[in-house]
Structure 1
Amino acid sequence: MNMKALWFALCATIACMGAQSASAALNNPSNADNKTVGAVSQSKLSLNKADQQQLEAIPGIGAKKAQAILEYIKLNGPIKDKKQLMEVKGIGEKMADRIAGFVSFG
């Protein structure tokens, strides 16, 4: 697992479980089990609620694309689907497909 994917998994864990639960799990890794790992890998980051750092953790998204996504949301409101995501400068169909695998649009 590369560092960006690992960072995304950590951010998704914090978003889904809450900071307190995630912190407890990180501080006591001996209690981790395969169910927790499976839940993290299936979690999706809410695109419209994500911050710069969380967006950058998505594989293929750097600082510039993350900023473009945030700017688009600020100017146009929430992104509702993959098609609308392609309206963000620098994001084409392939990139939107890749991003959609890691995020939810709700």
Structure 2
Amino acid sequence: MIKKLLLAIATLAASASFAFAQVEVNKADAAALDGVKGVGPSMSKAILDERAKGEFKDWADLQKRVKGLGDKKALKLTEAGLVVNGKGKEGASAKPAEKASKTTAKAKPEEGKAAM
């Protein structure tokens, strides 16, 4: 029973760490690409097909070579963790983990006021 509980906890911890992991478009397989919110099987296939012709240099190169990947979509994919050569699309907002910590930091002073 304890072994099953520990296995379940370890599985949850591992999946939580992947939720905010960056996915490098030049190294990821189809499963990793599909794991990025906003990337489906057809986009994964398009990315892999184009990457087979040569690695992506930057976001502009990725957008030029993969049909249907405009600026708005690229920004959303960056926010979801997709990177090209270790860089996100310029102009993307903070990552979800950073947003959560900023929200928590802002909420604490208000909680103190409510307690008074």
Report if TM-score (shorter chain) is over 0.5: yes
Q: Counterpart of 1:60? A: 38
Q: Counterpart of 2:84? A: 105
Q: Note the aligned Cα RMSD (angstroms).
A: 2.7
Q: Match of 1:83, SS? A: helix
The yes-or-no answer on 1:72 pairing with 2:33 is: no
- Unpaired runs of 5+ in structure 2? 1-5, 86-116
Question: RCO greater where, 1 or 2, for CA within 8 Å and sep 6 or more?
Answer: 1
Q: Shift of the alpha carbon at 1:28?
A: 5.6
Q: Match of 2:26, SS? A: helix
Task: State TM-score, norm by structure 1.
Answer: 0.58
| Bigger helix fraction | 1
Q: Distance in 1 between matches of 2:35 and 2:78?
A: 14
Tell me the alpha carbon deviations over residues 28-84 of structure 1, each in whole angstroms, 9 at most, x when there is no partner.
Answer: 627x88xxx5x6554311111111111111111111111001111111x21232212
The yes-or-no answer on 1:27 pairing with 2:7 is: yes
Task: State TM-score, norm by structure 2.
Answer: 0.53
**Given that residues 85 and 96 in structure 1 are in contact (C-alpha distance below 8 angstroms), is that contact kept between their aligned partners in structure 2?**
no
**Given that residues 22 and 82 in structure 2 are in contact (C-alpha distance below 8 angstroms), is that contact kept between their aligned partners in structure 1?**
yes
Q: Distance in 2 between matches of 1:42 and 1:59?
A: 11
- Taking only the aligned residue pairs, the percentage that are identical comes to 28
Q: Which has the larger radius of gyration?
A: 2
Q: 2:58 aligns with which of 58, 81, 99?
A: 81
Q: Counterpart of 2:24? A: 46
